[in-house]
Amino acid sequence: MIMEPLRGGNLAADLPGAAPIWSQAEQKRTPADWSFQWLWSQPEVSLVLSGMSTLQQVEENLVSAENSRIGLLNDAELALVSKVHETLAGLSPIDCTRCEYCLPCPSSVNIPRVIDYYNRAAVYDDLEGTRSSYKRLVKDDQKAINCTQCEECVPKCPQNIPISDWMPVIEGVLGGSQPYQTEEP
């Protein structure tokens, strides 16, 4: 059962990194339809719970569901999906795999979550939307602002991410109004 199949609608947008790849497909689909068809192609997926806010979205999703089946996407289409995935992942400035080895943080910072929000701003090219989500959806005691620079997390990260250096950057950008930074601090 899949929740948030479009990541809060982000995957339904015409993402700059994905559009040129989708255009290579013989069968043209909307970004939302690509996401749905990939999910419904998986034999283990039985239910896709997608939020819809307009009648048009309901109608499009019904058409998408009616046209779906397990294994629908052919090898060429699956290769395009992989290419989009790699391209979008490559836009992330912080190479976090969300392994959670850095947790628990003694100051309760949810390190993988705040990094994920930071990466999303670049991947979905939506800094203002991500700022708003970060402020609303990440609990105050889990935000990067609570980092005390103890550096307990740093040696635990298999990706060698300078977590303690990123935390003030993330808070300044997502919790404040500092410009987005892609270079490692």
Residues interacting with ligand SF4, by CB under 6 A?
Answer: 96-102, 105-107, 109, 111-112, 115, 147-153, 156-157, 159, 161, 163-164, 167
Q: Which is nearer to ligand SF4, 10 or 164 (CB)?
A: 164
Tokens of 59: 């109608």
| Residue 95 Cβ vs ligand SF4, minimum distance, rounded to whole Å | 7
Q: Which is nearer to ligand SF4, 15 or 163 (CB)?
A: 163
| Residue 90 Cβ vs ligand SF4, minimum distance, rounded to whole Å | 16
Q: Which is nearer to ligand SF4, 113 or 131 (CB)?
A: 113
Q: At 40, which amino acid appears?
A: W
| Residue 38 Cβ vs ligand SF4, minimum distance, rounded to whole Å | 25
| Residue 130 Cβ vs ligand SF4, minimum distance, rounded to whole Å | 18
Q: Which is nearer to ligand SF4, 11 or 96 (CB)?
A: 96
